[in-house]
């Protein structure tokens, strides 16, 4: 079964293609459900999380900690689905949230602006000019968000394994093309891949625990996992007058990580900085 992420502009047929692939493979098809799961984990309304995830970075310049916590929660929710070994995901930035994850077919879908405008006009009851402004605003927000978070251009074809233009191709033809590509050995979910997917999901759960725990939520920490052994990397505050700060943080971070189910052992690679940034 495949793991496929679909990136596209608004109203470009991404959901329809995802549903076609889901039917072809019998795989789960998810999009906004990821935001629902993440919001539930954080105890915030889905609408709040969606707004912060889908808007451009203008609102986020002063919300660094909140931004990190939201993104980590969304990545963790997505990782739980991916760990099952098959998924068709058509939500925001799947190819970036799963960066480095093996056997993921990363797809970019392009559709003519005229078709997209017509779809918005029908679904939203807007006039042509308003529909075009709507599409441009949504697309620009997604581009700014991805550049702000990951330093890349969402539209860069090098980020994808397959780019499909629907100008002269139907959704059914595109679906057949993607399905055939997904059967290639490069995207096979083997036992080894499943083990790596499980470790990825575990690292995301630990990252979420660190991002939401009052003791560590302000820290910019990276987390990886290998056969259930978790490694936490990053900087921790080291106030000048505080003695034994390093050992305190080692104990704190280890305890937070070990409370996450599935963690077998914790390695720390932390460095002190003189005060909070």
272 bridge partner residues = 236
- Residue 195's contacts (CB-CB under 8 Å, 6 or more residues apart) are 227
Say whether 251 sits in a helix, a strand or coil.
helix
Q: By percentage, how much of the chain surpasses pLDDT 90?
A: 57
**C-beta pairs of 110-118 under 8 Å, 24+ apart in sequence:** 110/8, 110/9, 110/12, 110/163, 110/164, 110/165, 110/166, 110/167, 111/8, 111/9, 111/11, 111/12, 111/13, 111/165, 111/166, 111/167, 112/166, 112/167, 115/166, 116/9, 116/10, 116/11, 116/12
Domain residue limits, the chain: 3-187, 213-273
pLDDT at 171: 95
Q: Which residue has the higher pLDDT, 195 or 41?
A: 195
Tell me, yes or no, if the two domains 3-187 and 213-273 fold the same way.
no
Q: Which two tokens stand for residue 128?
A: 């042509």
Domain with residues 213-273, CATH architecture: 2-Layer Sandwich (3.30)
Q: Report how far residue 97's alpha carbon sits from residue 72's, in angstroms, rounded to the nearest whole number.
A: 9
Q: Report how far residue 131's alpha carbon sits from residue 113's, in angstroms, rounded to the nearest whole number.
A: 10
- Band (pLDDT 50/70/90 cuts) for residue 64 is low
- Beta strand 221-226 with 229-237 is antiparallel
With contact defined as beta carbons under 8 Å apart, do 233 and 221 qualify?
A: yes
Q: What angle do CA 273, 57, 96 make, to 5 degrees?
A: 80
With contact defined as beta carbons under 8 Å apart, do 81 and 89 qualify?
A: yes
Q: Which residue has the higher pLDDT, 141 or 22?
A: 22
Average pLDDT (10-32) is: 92
The pLDDT mean for the chain works out to 87
pLDDT at 178: 97
- Band (pLDDT 50/70/90 cuts) for residue 270 is confident
Q: What angle do CA 2, 91, 122 make, to 5 degrees?
A: 120
Segment 116-165, tens digit of pLDDT: 999 999 988 999 999 999 999 888 888 888 887 788 898 999 999 999 99
CATH domain 3-187 topology: Rossmann fold (3.40.50)
Segment 79-98, tens digit of pLDDT: 999 999 999 999 888 899 99
Q: Report how far residue 43's alpha carbon sits from residue 242's, in angstroms, rounded to the nearest whole number.
A: 34
Tell which residue, 215, 230, 233, has the closest CA to residue 270.
233
65 vs 46, 62, 100, 220, 273, CA distance in Å? 18, 9, 24, 9, 18
């Amino acid at each position: 079964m495949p793991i496929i992420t679909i990136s596209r502009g608004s109203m470009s047929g991404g959901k329809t293609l995802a549903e076609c692939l889901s039917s072809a493979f019998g795989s789960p098809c998810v999009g906004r459900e990821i935001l629902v799961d993440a919001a539930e984990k954080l105890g915030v309304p889905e609408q709040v999380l969606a707004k912060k995830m889908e808007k451009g970075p203008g609102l986020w310049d002063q919300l660094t900690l909140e931004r990190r916590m939201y993104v980590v929660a969304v990545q963790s929710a997505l990782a739980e689905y991916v760990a099952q070994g098959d998924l068709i995901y058509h939500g925001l930035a799947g190819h970036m949230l799963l960066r480095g994850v093996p056997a993921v077919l990363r797809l970019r879908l392009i559709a003519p602006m005229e078709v997209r405008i017509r779809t918005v006009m029908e679904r939203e009851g807007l006039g042509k000019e308003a529909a075009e402004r709507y599409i441009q605003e949504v697309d620009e927000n997604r581009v700014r968000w991805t550049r702000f978070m990951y330093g890349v251009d969402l539209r860069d074809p090098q980020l994808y394994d397959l780019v499909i233009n629907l100008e002269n191709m139907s959704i059914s033809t595109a679906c057949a093309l993607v399905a055939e590509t997904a059967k290639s050995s490069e995207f096979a979910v083997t036992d080894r891949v499943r083990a790596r997917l499980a470790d990825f999901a575990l690292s995301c759960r630990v990252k979420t625990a660190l991002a939401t725990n009052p003791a560590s939520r302000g820290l910019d920490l990276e987390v990886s996992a290998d056969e259930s052994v978790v490694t936490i990397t990053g900087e921790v505050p080291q106030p000048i007058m505080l003695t034994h700060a390093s050992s305190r943080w080692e104990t704190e971070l280890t305890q937070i990580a070990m409370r996450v189910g599935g963690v077998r052992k914790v390695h720390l690679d932390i460095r002190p900085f003189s005060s909070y940034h």
